[in-house]
Structure 1
Amino acid sequence: MLVSRYRPILYLQYLLLFLDLFLNSFSNLMRFENVVLLVLYVIQDVCIIFAVIVVFLVFFNTYIFQAGLVSILINKFKWTIIVTFIYFVLCVGLHVWEMTMRWAVDDPTAYIWNDGFRAIFALQKIVSVLYYYFYKRTALRLGDPRFYEESEWVRQEFEKRR
């Protein structure tokens, strides 16, 4: 892909990643009002969905995908797909659980942390680091011109698949 065409896509991916990182880090500081926290959580989940959509749109623009070698892309980026799915499920689960507990107590400053919630909170934060790493790596790797033109590497992969 041309650098001039890929650069805005890469900036968009970085923006979505930064928004997710910012909301993941600082959303708990906005717990003074449940509705504000709910809106921030919805924005974070939508950013993750948009990030996945952007990656798949870039997949669809590759020569490998257009040549019908989708399995090569899936194999090369399977960990990104898996980690992103796990991270999204953990985020939604954490957000739903926290908002359910907050609305049950109806006091934004109340301490609502139980053992299960602490475990999923910690797991979500650990998986978020993996998500940031794999997503950024995928965004940078998809800028490689090998994915957008016919080359010896693609022909070798095609021969392996036959």
Structure 2
Amino acid sequence: MRRSSYRPILYLQFFLLFVDLFVNSFSDLLRMANVIQLVLYIIQDVCLVFAVIVVFLVFFNTFIFQAGLVGLLIRKFKTTIIVTLTYFVLCVGLHVWAMSLRWEDPNRYIWNEGFQAMFVFQRVGAVLYYYFYKRTALRLGDPRFYQDSDWLRREFAKVGR
């Protein structure tokens, strides 16, 4: 992929990360009305789905995918895929739990032990997600994923065994 065509995709991926970071940082401060917090949570979850879609679209654009080595791509990026899906589940779980506890009274104190643990797991998952997603976005800009090379031929030979 040419650098000029990959740059907008990279900016889109960074924007999706920024939206997620913004919602994680400020959603509790913007809980005056349930609808505001619900919309923020929906935006965050939709951005996570879009982030996964963008990564897979970039996968489909690689020479490796077009050569039929889908397993190689999955193997190289399986940690990112697992972390992203786990983080999505943690986000949805936290959002549903928070909204169900706060729906009647948005300013209600809900920090019981279970919710606090879920909150911590979601935030730790967020840090892992930011790291692995950004690393994947930058690694997929590597030209060797988009052209035939000795590295790819060696990987193809490993798969053939």
Instruction: Give the TM-score category using the shorter length.
Output: over 0.9
Secondary structure at 2:157 match in 1 = helix
Q: Who is 2:76 aligned against?
A: 76
1:143 correspondence with 2:138: no
Q: Who is 2:118 aligned against?
A: 120
- 1:91-136 C-alpha deviation (Å, 9 max, x unpaired): 0000000101112xx1111111211000000010011000000000
Secondary structure at 1:30 match in 2 = coil
Runs of 4+ in 1 over 6 A off after TM superposition: none
Unaligned runs of 5+ in 2: none
Q: Who is 1:91 aligned against?
A: 91
Q: Who is 1:9 aligned against?
A: 9
Structural mapping, 1:98-113, within 5 Å: 98-103=98-103, 106-113=104-111
Distance, in Å, in 2 between the alignment partners of 1:119 and 1:77 is: 28
Q: Name the TM-score, length of structure 1 as normaliser.
A: 0.98
Of all paired residues, the percent bearing the same amino acid is 71
Aligned residues: 160
1:59 correspondence with 2:54: no
Superposition CA RMSD, Å: 0.5
Secondary structure at 1:29 match in 2 = coil
1:132 correspondence with 2:130: yes
Secondary structure at 1:149 match in 2 = coil
- 1:40-66 C-alpha deviation (Å, 9 max, x unpaired): 000000000000000000000000000
Secondary structure at 2:27 match in 1 = helix
Distance, in Å, in 2 between the alignment partners of 1:88 and 1:120 is: 13
Q: Who is 1:38 aligned against?
A: 38
1:11 CA displacement = 0.4
Distance, in Å, in 2 between the alignment partners of 1:113 and 1:77 is: 36
- 1:32-85 C-alpha deviation (Å, 9 max, x unpaired): 111110000000000000000000000000000000000110111010000000
Q: Name the TM-score, length of structure 2 as normaliser.
A: 0.98
The amino acid of 1:100's aligned partner reads: S
Distance, in Å, in 2 between the alignment partners of 1:149 and 1:37 is: 45
Unaligned runs of 5+ in 1: none
